[in-house]
Amino acid sequence: MEDVKVLITAHSFGSCGKAAFDILDGAKVKYSIMHRKEIFKEEDLIDEVKSFDALIVGADVISRKVIENAPKLRIISKHGVGLDNIDLEAAKERNIVVAAAIGSNNIAVAELTICLMLALARRVALCDREVKAGEWNRYKGMELMGSTLGVIGTGKIGKEVIARMKSFGMNVLAFDLNQDKGFAKEYNVKYVPLNELLAQADFLCIHAPLTDSTKYLINKSNLIRIKRTAILINTARGGIVDEDALYSALINKEIAGAAIDTFEYEPPGRNRLLELDNVIATPHIGAYTKEAIDKMSKYSAEAIAQFAKGENIKNKVI
């Protein structure tokens, strides 16, 4: 068993139970905790990481510069699934192991996606604000039964959404370069090109990772293809949607509404999208359930413990 010293920057790590700390203690891993409400930027971490063999991080920026300033670093364990905040190329060059809490939050994110879909379809947030303000406006909503759901990305989260929305009687179209034909057959999902999905979907939800190929995937030219009555839900990553293009589409009534859990810059500050009544915004809470946080904490701790024990790291990404 190796001596491993880990810095924990993920602010919700272990906040829903002590099991994750027990896992680290059981592997005799020494840990230090560095928490704050906001994510840690590059400049916050450069001097802090120098003496650590391992990191457990949330959305904190693990850039090339951070990695270069951590000469002892041998493993990065993500308290979550998305890896766009970690410079994977820099990690590969140093032979640093990167692990993710795969399978920890797919149910939580899927359920929030459905929550936002229903809330937009019935304009729940707007009605709530107006009733509390003394108004009594009854808006016509949309039924999900018989409508078409377009799913971009059929990984674990996309599949959880599809499985649940089939019970609502929705027709499901999907776009993914890696098609799961067995799943598609079981749930009567039709894989189609992106252009076709955009043109036919009444509800469009994004469940793809943020990569070079998905950056601004939902841009001006693709928003034009979407129905004027359609609703967009993004619980994936903010950079997948061009927010300026989305704002223009919404104010010009080229799309009916949008629900945004992830912004390109978080917190979003004075983002124009937040001024619109046909937008529901949440503060990146897709994975923020007690159950998901507990699993993310355990899975990220297990990766460090497995590394310390010289065992196979089950959720190793690189």
Contact call for residues 115 and 168 (beta carbons, < 8 A): no
pLDDT of 2 strictly over 80: no
First to last CA, the chain: 21
Catalytic residue chosen out of the listed positions 243, 254, 284, 302: 284
Q: Where are the domain boundaries for CATH 3.40.50.720 in the chain?
A: 5-104+289-309, 106-281
Is there a catalytic annotation at residue 237?
Answer: yes
Supply the pLDDT for residue 38: 87
pLDDT of 1 strictly over 80: no
Contact call for residues 225 and 198 (beta carbons, < 8 A): yes
| CATH class for the domain made up of 5-104+289-309 | alpha beta
Structure tokens at 30: 């020494």
Dist. CA 63–CA 90, nearest whole Å: 8
pLDDT of 288 strictly over 90: yes
Catalytic residue chosen out of the listed positions 11, 237, 243, 302: 237
Catalytic residue chosen out of the listed positions 266, 275, 291, 311: 266
Q: What is the pTM of this model?
A: 0.93
Contact call for residues 54 and 6 (beta carbons, < 8 A): yes
Q: What is the average per-residue pLDDT within 248-255? A: 97
pLDDT band at 36 (very low <50, low <70, confident <90, very high): confident
Is there a catalytic annotation at residue 266?
Answer: yes
pLDDT of 270 strictly over 90: yes
Bridge partners (DSSP) of residue 76 are: 55, 98
**Which CATH superfamily is 106-281 part of?**
NAD(P)-binding Rossmann-like Domain (3.40.50.720)
Q: What is the average per-residue pLDDT within 228-240? A: 97
Is there a catalytic annotation at residue 302?
Answer: no
Q: Where are the alpha helices (DSSP H) in the chain?
A: 19-26, 42-45, 64-68, 88-93, 106-121, 124-132, 156-165, 181-187, 194-200, 220-223, 243-251, 290-309
For 133-160, the pLDDT digits (tens) are: 999 999 999 999 999 999 999 999 999 9
